[in-house]
Structure 1
């Protein structure tokens, strides 16, 4: 029997991801994966547009992805676009161009669908148990928050407060000024009352961060303690005290200095300061001494659907 293969493309505001997999009963094998800092929201996200430069970077990367997909003979391609594209006035034209140039149909998902797929990915990683967890995925355009456990998502919402937006609004000086940090905190106070209300209702006892920023923060923590991440592991622990040391350090360093931190990667170096401020803000409401970092997120949520781990009407990939 010919193995079933699939390609998943996650067109995030900051990063485009490609994941090529072979699907098995209840699981999958990774053939190839890659992430590229396309920054499709750069220069236009605050104006609800995708700039010509951003489109060029996107098309260049998608051609590169298409070559890998064709090289593996994969015909099942599932592409998703999130905050930057769904909010751009020229987003539908952008998606149409992608279809014409690369024969890739892009599913522009709403915030609720995005949050549900992220939840499915985190659950697939084995990061959850019977207790209620707060899950968060910090994208470039939006941040998804989900409260739930290994059985169900009890509450979920997407907020347009992603790293690129926070960077554009608040991080004008490097290192960030105390005043800018205070303004960012005030902004979060204004934007997140729905989340705080939900935290009071469901009382999650743990925080799970999905991929992206959390991958890099855990890489930095592991590097500072001479620890190695296991290649077959999907969940990594970051002590709250360890995170707080890193977050405090990030506030005092400029970009060149941040790049020298072991575990830092160039595609995260700009947004990681505001992202860490966001995490610090959220931790005021979660009584936990450990952050759980899931390397699975939206892409793996799509795979979870493809292999039939669940049936989700409101986040359909068909």
Structure 2
């Protein structure tokens, strides 16, 4: 009998995620999931370092995750670290210390691999169809863009322009100043030239946003309709007009007022401002009437791979 329980830890720049699953032939069941705003990029990302306070928060969270994993008697643990760790000068030491303290092997994935796994997660959610879409995942350290459809990836790239980086560089006033938005937009124009060329080449007609910011935007949208998102649903639609209305609020309100917006969660209240500026910029390049928002991203991409391995292992054992 092949052990079919696994834990995935996604050590993002802003948020650490734990998901514990049971894997079957062509599906998985979530046993437990949790996300914690570790903010490992805070105080150090602009200097390519992991700040001692961030490290402390990370170890505290990993100990908590380890206790939960042990409680489920799970031995297959897949841990991934992304932008903040891969760019930190002390990233290798940090990963080594995690192995020594918790016996968790952390795979530091590069941007291309991160984009591929995000694509596999989005595909698993059922957010894609035959049309060519631009997919995006706004992390704290990096932003991944993928152009493709339900069959294949046509183009992908990771850019080190994530929410924490944009916050550090441009968001000095609250609410954000028009001048700061203008400077941020000019920065995006400069940094995303290869994306603009790829859009010109592949001409995507759909836009899919993965987890994080997009989860919160759809939470706010559904709250404005006095509706709840179905827990079993992985894909949500956000009309462009509704996004623009939400973005106007986010860009003009003080933090304490943003926190009062129904559907807003405290861990996103700062980053969602610069993330909305980025989405507005992308909507100029891919003019769609509706944004598709996928609940699934990197960690579900890892689960998709585990499901593939599980199916292969089952076939070999027959």
TM-score w.r.t. the length of structure 2 is 0.96
The CA deviation at 1:225 is 0.7
* 3-state SS of paired residue (1:284): helix
TM-score w.r.t. the length of structure 1 is 0.96
Runs of 4+ in 1 over 4 A off after TM superposition: none
Q: Please list, as runs of the form range in 1=range in 2, the aligned pairs for 1:50-89 lying within 5 A after superposition.
A: 50-89=50-89
User: Aligned partners of 1:159, 1:139: CA distance in 2, in Å?
Assistant: 10
* 3-state SS of paired residue (1:296): coil
Q: Please list, as runs of the form range in 1=range in 2, the aligned pairs for 1:195-210 lying within 5 A after superposition.
A: 195-210=195-210
* 3-state SS of paired residue (2:285): coil
Q: Indicate conservation of the 8 Å contact 1:304/1:310, yes or no.
A: no
The CA deviation at 1:2 is 6.9
Q: Indicate conservation of the 8 Å contact 1:147/1:154, yes or no.
A: yes
1:160-213: CA deviations, max 9, x gaps? Answer: 000000000000000000100000000001100000000000110110000000
User: Aligned partners of 2:81, 2:93: CA distance in 1, in Å?
Assistant: 13
Aligned to 2:101: 101
User: Aligned partners of 1:30, 1:3: CA distance in 2, in Å?
Assistant: 15
Runs of 5+ in structure 1 lacking a partner? 312-318
User: Aligned partners of 2:247, 2:309: CA distance in 1, in Å?
Assistant: 36
1:116-168: CA deviations, max 9, x gaps? Answer: 00000000000000100000000000000000000001000000000000000
The CA deviation at 1:3 is 5.3
Aligned to 2:295: 295
1:151 aligns with 2:147: no
Q: Indicate conservation of the 8 Å contact 1:26/1:309, yes or no.
A: no
The CA deviation at 1:287 is 2.2
| Paired residues, number | 311
Runs of 5+ in structure 2 lacking a partner? 312-318
The CA deviation at 1:226 is 1.1
1:80-139: CA deviations, max 9, x gaps? Answer: 000000000000000000000000000000000000000000000000001000000000
User: Aligned partners of 1:278, 1:202: CA distance in 2, in Å?
Assistant: 20
Q: Indicate conservation of the 8 Å contact 1:114/1:298, yes or no.
A: yes
Superposed CA RMSD: 1.2
Q: Indicate conservation of the 8 Å contact 2:133/2:207, yes or no.
A: yes
